Chains A and B, each alone.
Chain A
Amino acid sequence: MRDLIWMIPALPLAGFALLLAFGKRLGEPLAGWLGTATVAGSFVVTLGVFLTLRTDGGADHRLTQSLFTWVPAGSFKADLGFLVDPLSISMCLFVTGIAALIHLYSIGYMHGDPRYHVFFTYLNLFVFSMLMLVLGDNLLVTFLGWEGVGACSYFLISFWFSEEANASAGKKAFVTNRVGDWGFMCATFFTFSALGTLSYTGIIDGASALPRSTATVIALLLFVGAVGKSAQLPLYVWLPDAMAGPTPVSALFHAATMVTAGVYLMVRINPVLAASAHWLPTLIATVGAVTALFAATIALAQNDIKKVLAYSTVSQLGYMFLAVGSGAYVGAIFHMITHAFFKALLFLGAGSVIHGMGDEQDMRRMGALRKLMPITAATFIVGWLAIAGVPPFSGFFSKDEILVYAWQKSPVLWAIGFVTAILTAFYMARQVYLVFFGDARWGEPVPEAAASPAANEAQQSAAEVDDTTATDANDEAPVAAHAASDAGADGHGHEAHADVHPHESPWTMTLPLVVLAVGAIVAGALNMPFFDRLKVLEHWLAPVVEHGQAHLTVSSGLKVGLGVVTVVGALVAFALARLVYLRGRQDVAEQIEQPVFARGWYYDSSIAAFMGGPGRRLFDAVSWFDRTIIDGAVNGVATLVRGGGDRVRVLQSGYVRNYALGVAFGAIVLVGLLLSRAVF
């Protein structure tokens, strides 16, 4: 299988090409099956390569394949080559595996869409790009994939989008990702000038010899790139908006694979991180932890079923960065894998619910779906328990490992992670109770009084696309959704109620759910704590992360203690959520949610009242920062450029003699400058 590495990305590429050429003729559902088959084939090849690597990997556990010299330029040379090592093959396994499942799911989900084949065309292109990103043996190939997944993401965000929202969300994603790309590109140049190579083997082998400052700059710039791609503070804003794309896209791009590219990159260059200044890992861990907490608080107050998951994704990615910063590279990858399973599961489950509810996304108009959609409900609950960190589900093990390393790094980081874990359990429980339990509230009018503060918060702190737009955008039939939400807003909810017939989804959609649910349960077995023999993933990844991995000095007792505390916290959160959202019903929920969570956790008057004057000012400062710097950065720069442009534009007066004066003036300045060199 050693020589077949190229087939891993080539199969989806072939699928892309075939769909591009014949997609329309193939039509539905053949186009979908073709797309699924190529990705599944890629998974099989990956499996073969994986087995080869296990048995036949050599001492350094690396297989490389160089196809051709891709970009020759002077002393600089980049091959189009692949590097297969434990890290990249693990990524490939779950990328192709999950992608195949999501392709299968999309066959059912996209049923009846007029642009059915186009969707699969993009999806295959995405898988190809993602595999290039992961398998590339140098920064340039990774960058190619990096940009490729970004481009597919823009295309698919706007797959169903209305004009204005398209512009807004697309622009946001474009600009924030540009910032990240800028970091990546600068890092590439620095790497080349420092090491004379861009290949990972060269970087990994040469990292220890790098001067500390150079290593720090490279790692920091790559971190900037990772922050953009993996939606961390302050560049997270695009991800919630991106949820407007079709749900399989959210599951594949914005939960399981693409957004983890930043984490992958950080793990990939762990020797550089190890060689950099000590404050950098701390910075990464802090950014991760703060993002995790920040996004979790926002997730508490969301009513859109996908928005909750979106913020939850940002939060979980924060955990992964916390892991990277704490030196738990294995933990980061471990959590990435488990997260891929349970978050893809949750998204697909949400998609199934949306599908079954006739394109309804507001959780306040759901409820009691567990009887009508038993498979979806059961698998969703598995995902919930996994993300909440209940043993023996996979999320428990990976999150626990990260928290232990965080404790070793700093108890403060652990505390933030712990609080986040509790919040995660709470908002996920809230989601499950609202969607699958309680009363059926299908088509009921949304209680506006309760909705507005939460909506405002959400808008201020993150997404600007309002809920209605996002809801519409995500529909297979936008017109119908308009009608539905209009009916709701007008208070004719009960007529609408009769029109909603929740039903279970077809097998192509439920099968992936079941497979992913199994994954979400057992993926924890990859890296069991305490028993060295059971740490399969850790041994497997050891050759890759040997430079960077921190050594755990925490005692077993403490480990158990931390684990128990986390689980108890999660269970308490469940109970609380049950109290609020099942027992207490709507009015009680409002009363409890509003002061404590919706307002309390972030920038609003209650925190100011709680903290007094300084808090108020801090809030003002934060919100000013948010408004002026984060949201306003784009507009600000644009205004600056525009203003500057308008001012300079006056010089372009249209008078040919003025132009001549400009030329003469330039000539005089040049002569002056050069002659000044002669004199001095």
Chain B
Amino acid sequence: MMLASTLGPTPYLVLGAVLFTVGAVGLLVRRNPLVMFMCIELMLNATNLTFVTFARQLDDVGGQVIVFFVLVVAAAEVVIGLGIIVGILRRRPGATADDLRLMKG
């Protein structure tokens, strides 16, 4: 609270945006599907940071509650994503995202 009052919300928002961008760029440059999933998680958490910041700024607890929803969604996403990747790796061990291009055009 001290920080917030002295720094204002802007640095947190910028940090959130930077983290989001890092996540997005990470997804674009990494080929390992697991790392790609992690990048998506990073993007979601960057959003969480933004939510919390706004909630503080607006003095509205709602924005903080949203974070819990997002965390649950993120957890569900991880489960599904891992399921899919395990299914693929079982048939093609060591496959990267770039190896999967049976379909194109």
How distant is B91 from chain A, measured CB to nearest CB, in Å?
A: 17
A-chain residues with CB within 8 Å of residue B31 when the two chains form the complex: 657
Q: Which residue of A lies closest to B97 (CB)?
A: A656
A652 in contact with B98 (CB, 8 Å): no
How distant is B66 from chain A, measured CB to nearest CB, in Å?
A: 21
How distant is A658 from chain B, measured CB to nearest CB, in Å?
A: 9
Q: Which residue of B lies closest to A664 (CB)?
A: B24
Compute how far the CA of A652 lies from the CA of B104 in the bound complex, rounded to whole angstroms: 6
How distant is A655 from chain B, measured CB to nearest CB, in Å?
A: 6
How distant is A672 from chain B, measured CB to nearest CB, in Å?
A: 15
Q: How many cross-chain pairs have Cβ atoms below 8 Å apart between A and B?
A: 28
B-chain residues with CB within 8 Å of residue A657 when the two chains form the complex: 27-29, 31, 97-98
List CB contacts (< 8 Å) of B61-86 with chain A: none
List CB contacts (< 8 Å) of B28-54 with chain A: 28-29, 31
B24 in contact with A653 (CB, 8 Å): no
Interface of A is mostly: helix
Q: A657-B97, A657-B98 are in contact. Are A652 and B27 (CB under 8 A)?
A: no
Compute how far the CA of A364 lies from the CA of B74 in the bound complex, rounded to whole angstroms: 83
How distant is B102 from chain A, measured CB to nearest CB, in Å?
A: 7
List CB contacts (< 8 Å) of A653-674 with chain B: 653-657, 660-661, 664
Q: Is A649 an interface residue (CB 8 A)?
A: yes
A654 in contact with B102 (CB, 8 Å): yes
How distant is B41 from chain A, measured CB to nearest CB, in Å?
A: 15
Q: Which residue of A lies closest to B102 (CB)?
A: A654
A654 in contact with B101 (CB, 8 Å): yes
Q: Which residue of B lies closest to A656 (CB)?
A: B97
One of A649, A660, A664 near B105 (C-beta < 8 A): A649
B27 in contact with A660 (CB, 8 Å): yes
How distant is B95 from chain A, measured CB to nearest CB, in Å?
A: 12
Compute how far the CA of A376 lies from the CA of B4 in the bound complex, rounded to whole angstroms: 103
Q: A661-B28, A664-B28 are in contact. Are A655 and B105 (CB under 8 A)?
A: no
Q: Mark A505-541, 1 if CB is under 8 A from B, else 0.
A: 0000000000000000000000000000000000000
Q: Which residue of B lies closest to A650 (CB)?
A: B105
Q: Is B1 an interface residue (CB 8 A)?
A: no
One of B24, B100, B105 near A656 (C-beta < 8 A): B100
Compute how far the CA of A387 lies from the CA of B43 in the bound complex, rounded to whole angstroms: 80
How distant is B19 from chain A, measured CB to nearest CB, in Å?
A: 15
Q: Which residue of A lies closest to B31 (CB)?
A: A657
B27 in contact with A654 (CB, 8 Å): no
A-chain residues with CB within 8 Å of residue B58 when the two chains form the complex: none
Q: Is B103 an interface residue (CB 8 A)?
A: yes
How distant is A664 from chain B, measured CB to nearest CB, in Å?
A: 6
Q: Can you name 28 A-B residue pairings with CB atoms under 8 Å?
A: A649-B105, A652-B104, A652-B105, A653-B101, A653-B104, A654-B101, A654-B102, A654-B103, A654-B104, A654-B105, A655-B97, A655-B98, A655-B101, A656-B97, A656-B98, A656-B100, A656-B101, A657-B27, A657-B28, A657-B29, A657-B31, A657-B97, A657-B98, A660-B27, A660-B28, A661-B28, A664-B24, A664-B28
* Given A653-B104, A657-B29, A664-B28, 12 more pairs with CB closer than 8 A: A653-B101, A654-B104, A655-B98, A655-B101, A656-B100, A656-B101, A657-B31, A657-B97, A657-B98, A660-B27, A660-B28, A661-B28
